[in-house]
């Protein structure tokens, strides 16, 4: 079991510990459970869908990286497939606070990067901030997304974000988590560059059309790619580097052990991720960053 889970795991009820341990003990535990695994866990410990998601929150929060706030937020996103995905907040010492990742963004992006097509619900241990409500308003599940909070009645995103401004106000039909392929190409065979390009091709950038992706290679040779998730309100957009860092962190990797990074983005677009990507990676100790422009 990854050491970050030890304290939270030890506080769980014994029946839940028994049901979870085989999965958590796997060296490649991906901080998610398939629908079948979730069903097996539920039958093993007697919890229903919502109760299991609440019970998993301390494990999700244990994945947070919070050198600035020391405030641990965990989230569990449930996909329409029934899969459960962990999410946790992330902060980066030395980088602007705007580069931070909120737990809801982490769980949503985690589900998206693992191939989930839409979300049914998200369970969080603290009430979603305004930034996250707006971020989630970009999803193809829209206002119907179920929000679950400790001690609160079940509600929807529309309940938490009334009179919302979103994609439809800008006549945008393609929503976050919709399947897309923008079809950009690069004449390069380098695996990391191709991973960044593939991520850019599946990114959500309907406002700027500056499709972008980042791929990271860590010291142990693992590769993680993240896609840009743009937002109708612009500022809550999640950069492609952050998406890749979410996947790296939740997969059990070390964000301070990145040895190479590639950003794939358009040569000439109205916006660029280049400067922000380099600054944040430098704060994580990685200077080996290249830009592949298409």
Residues that bind Zn ion (CB under 5 A): 102, 129, 131-132
CA 132 – CA 160 distance, rounded (Å)? 11
CA 137 – CA 141 distance, rounded (Å)? 8
Does the annotation list 209 as a binding residue?
A: no
Does the annotation list 116 as a binding residue?
A: no
* Under 8 Å between Cβ of 85 and 106: no
Q: Which is nearer to Zn ion, 121 or 201 (CB)?
A: 121
Does the annotation list 90 as a binding residue?
A: yes
Q: What are the catalytic residues?
A: 104
Does the annotation list 89 as a binding residue?
A: yes
CA 116 – CA 107 distance, rounded (Å)? 11
Q: Which is nearer to Zn ion, 20 or 136 (CB)?
A: 136
Q: What is the dihedral of CA 114, 76, 2, 93, to 10 degrees?
A: 90
* Under 8 Å between Cβ of 162 and 227: no
Does the annotation list 63 as a binding residue?
A: no
CA 218 – CA 126 distance, rounded (Å)? 32
* Under 8 Å between Cβ of 244 and 272: no
CA 57 – CA 36 distance, rounded (Å)? 19
Does the annotation list 129 as a binding residue?
A: yes
CA 137 – CA 10 distance, rounded (Å)? 36
As measured in angstroms, the least distance from the Cβ of 92 to Zn ion is 16
Question: What are 15's two structure tokens?
Answer: 């029946």
Q: Which is nearer to Zn ion, 88 or 199 (CB)?
A: 88
CA 196 – CA 39 distance, rounded (Å)? 34
As measured in angstroms, the least distance from the Cβ of 127 to Zn ion is 9
Q: Which is nearer to Zn ion, 132 or 289 (CB)?
A: 132
Q: Which is nearer to Zn ion, 13 or 130 (CB)?
A: 130
Give the residue carrying structure tokens 């998601």. Answer: 53
Query: What is the biggest distance separating any 2 CA atoms in the chain, rounded to whole angstroms?
Result: 56
Q: Which residues line the annotated binding site for Zn(2+)?
A: 102, 129, 132
Q: Which residues line the annotated binding site for substrate?
A: 89-91
Q: Which residues line the annotated binding site?
A: 89-91, 102, 129, 132
């Amino acid at each position: 079991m990854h050491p970050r889970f030890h304290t939270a795991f030890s506080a769980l009820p014994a029946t839940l510990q028994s049901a979870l341990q085989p999965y958590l003990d796997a060296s490649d535990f991906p901080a998610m459970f398939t629908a079948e695994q979730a069903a097996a866990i539920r039958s093993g410990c007697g919890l229903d869908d919502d109760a299991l998601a609440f019970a998993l929150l301390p494990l999700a929060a244990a994945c947070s990286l919070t050198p600035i706030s020391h405030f641990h937020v965990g989230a569990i996103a449930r996909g329409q497939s029934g899969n459960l995905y962990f999410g946790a907040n992330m902060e980066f010492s030395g980088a602007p606070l705007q580069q931070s990742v909120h737990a809801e963004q982490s769980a949503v992006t985690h589900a998206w990067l693992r191939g989930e097509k839409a979300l049914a619900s998200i369970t969080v241990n603290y009430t979603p901030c305004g930034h996250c409500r707006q971020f989630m308003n970009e999803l193809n599940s829209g206002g119907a997304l179920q929000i679950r909070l400790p001690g609160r009645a079940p509600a929807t995103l529309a309940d938490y974000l009334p009179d919302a401004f979103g994609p439809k106000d800008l006549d945008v039909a393609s929503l976050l988590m919709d399947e897309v392929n923008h079809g950009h190409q690069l004449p390069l065979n380098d695996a990391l560059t191709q991973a960044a390009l593939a991520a850019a091709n599946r990114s959500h950038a309907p406002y700027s059309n500056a499709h972008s992706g980042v791929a990271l290679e860590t010291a142990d040779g693992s590769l993680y790619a993240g896609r840009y998730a743009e937002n109708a309100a612009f500022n809550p957009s999640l950069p492609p580097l952050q998406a890749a860092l979410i996947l790296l962190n939740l997969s059990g990797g070390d964000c301070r052990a990145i040895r190479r990074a590639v950003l794939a983005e358009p040569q000439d677009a109205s916006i660029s991720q280049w400067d922000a990507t380099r600054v944040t990676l430098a704060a994580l100790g990685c200077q080996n960053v290249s830009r592949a422009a298409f």
